[in-house]
Amino acid sequence: MSASKSSLAALTVGAIGVVYGDIGTSVLYAVKEVFGSGHVPLTTDNIYGILSIFFWTLTVIVSLKYVVLVLRADNNGEGGLVAMLALASQSVKDRPQLRKVLLMVGIFGTCLFYGDGVITPAISVLSAVEGLEVVSPAFKRFVIPLTLVILFCLFAVQKRGTSGIGKFFGPITLVWFACISLLGISHIVTNPAILWAISPHYALGFMWHNPGTTFIILGAVVLCVTGGEALYADMGHFGKKPIRVAWFAVVMPSLTLNYFGQGALLLTHPEAVKNPFFLMAPDWALVPLVCLATMATVIASQALISGAFSVTKQVIQLGYLPRLQVLHTSVKETGQIYLPFVNWGLFVTIVLAVVMFKSSSNLAAAYGIAVCTDMLITTVLTFYVIRYRWKYPLALCLGATGFFFVVDLAFWASNLMKLFDGGWFPLVIGGVIFTLMLTWKDGRALLNAKIRADAMDLPSFLEAVFVSPPVRVEGSAVFLTAEPGTVPNALLHNLKHNKVLHATNLFVTVRNHEVPWIGLDKRLTFESLGHDCWQVMINYGFKNDPDVPKALQLLTGHGCDLDPMSTSYFLSRDTVIPTIDSGMAQWREKLFAQMHHNASAAADFLKLPNNSVVELGSKIEI
């Protein structure tokens, strides 16, 4: 019993560091943006109304929608938009058209995650470093250079992994939440009546008397729920209970105390509106607070960067992106990975965002559209899961998700007003990645169709070969092929040029499925083709790590024992030639050909031993 309590405590502290770092640092800029927009005069009624809206936004979107409802929609224990997408698409697999639409919507939401992944580290670190301007206006010219240095250091250490510093994330973020709680309490005690703003009638009163203003400021209010998606995405790492305990016991109370403390400060010192968070602190605590805030924002950014690595790997295995170099940074945790291309691509785009927008206030204008669109998509996918997978009554499903849909839609519509003030930036990032993903998916379909059209039937081919068999040499040959039952080009080249066949031949196809994990008991399906030839299918979920040699060891004892020292792996390295006649638009075919050319080697991705791989090239027109 004590061990399970200890484990829950450790997971809860870990969740505070990784899951809630982003939403925990929103106190740096959320209140400032609402009142700094100029749309809301600093009156007592308005301060009460805005604080009430903040509290009930956190309650409805995070507590009710994500913590209570969405966390129930786990895909074999995994969460996040990719897992939800797989769950929803499986729920409607008997409705192909609807499934196709849901896949497109879900993939677009995944693309917007990258837009969010650019804005979040930029706005978080920049808003923390801007605290130096409160210490002294002379520091203003150092804010952007210092922000870029911190971000560079953060991205430069990614290749070393987070196993070494990850254990400090939870405790540091816990100190951060304790600090923002104390800051809030220190001002609430001077004006305890501010706590009455918890009553929803203040929020409803503000909305009733200021409907137009309410709609406009929702684009800034949404900043208080930044990172809400993270608590669902990280469910697989920590589990539902630690995430729920962390939210209700630590995070929600700390955020509420700090927001209400900022409100109390503004009641007595309206001039503090220029940066209410840092002006809550006494002068002696400003520099330590800036340092702590910077550490907290770096941790929040780290969680998002790690999430970008994880999502990219999942999307690759779902077949929407070409293979990229994936490096494992921990021998114990398979989830701790590093993708150099994604890492430095994110860094360059974040630097562009910081240099273009120059301040956290300007970045706040760019923030929101991507997040709100993802929230809307999550709500829509949740409806299909609870309706078609859990088989709940239609009225209950519409009631449960319809309420959240209306709330999400209001925030989304408000954020559309920021489209030309910077909201276009994450949308452009998401749109570019969406184009790449669709081009890769469609290109692969065309390529596989061409291979199928030109390929020979494998059983018939083997039957013809063994009428007058070639010389058999010792050892095993593993031919990797995208289409099971067809003759791999590598086999044809081997027979044509070497005029030999190995003693044992395996024709292996790797299949990735729309589930997070596939266990070892379902890893392999195989059948004998005669003459010591085998057709093998290796199955992986989108969170499994492909390892073909390890998977093939499962054949031992089934009449096909492979000796790693005498096994060779044959791959076809195809060169794609775009054509004008059919398929995709010419520019998309050229883009696909370039992506195909730059994809990392299949041998590395499938963990094939370097000294046992034979690659044979061929050209394919699409």
pLDDT one-digit tens code per residue, 121-166: 999 999 999 999 888 888 888 999 999 999 999 999 888 776 556 6
The domain limits of the chain are 2-422, 449-621
pLDDT score, position 505:
92
pLDDT score, position 330:
67
φ, ψ (nearest 5 deg) of residue 333: -100, 110
Range in 42-46, 76-80, 392-396, 437-441 with the lowest mean pLDDT: 76-80
Distance CA 347, CA 616 (A): 36
Each residue's pLDDT tens digit, 89-103? 888 888 989 999 999
pLDDT score, position 164:
59
Each residue's pLDDT tens digit, 315-373? 998 889 998 888 877 665 556 788 999 999 999 999 999 999 988 888 888 888 888 99
CA quadruple 310, 609, 569, 522: dihedral sign: negative
**pLDDT(533) > 70:** yes
Residue 45 CA to its chain's centroid (Å): 40
Instruction: Kindly report the three-state secondary structure assignment for every residue of 249-262.
Output: HHHHHHHHHHHHHH
User: How confident is the model over 46-72, as a mean pLDDT?
Assistant: 94
Give the mean pLDDT of the chain: 89
User: How confident is the model over 268-294, as a mean pLDDT?
Assistant: 93
**pLDDT(84) > 70:** yes
Each residue's pLDDT tens digit, 300-318? 888 888 888 888 988 998 8
pLDDT score, position 313:
87
Of the candidate CATH numbers 2.40.30, 1.10.3470, 2.40.50, 1.20.1740, the domain formed by 2-422 belongs to: 1.20.1740
pLDDT score, position 1:
44
Q: What percent of the chain has pLDDT over 70?
A: 97
φ, ψ (nearest 5 deg) of residue 328: -90, 125
**pLDDT(35) > 80:** yes
**pLDDT(411) > 70:** yes
Closest C-alpha to 182, from 266, 289, 42, 23: 289
pLDDT score, position 5:
66
Of residues 242 and 74, the one with the higher pLDDT is 242
**pLDDT(2) > 70:** no
| Exposure b/e, 32-42, CB count within 10 A at least 16 = b | bbbbbbeebee
Distance CA 574, CA 230 (A): 39
pLDDT score, position 108:
93
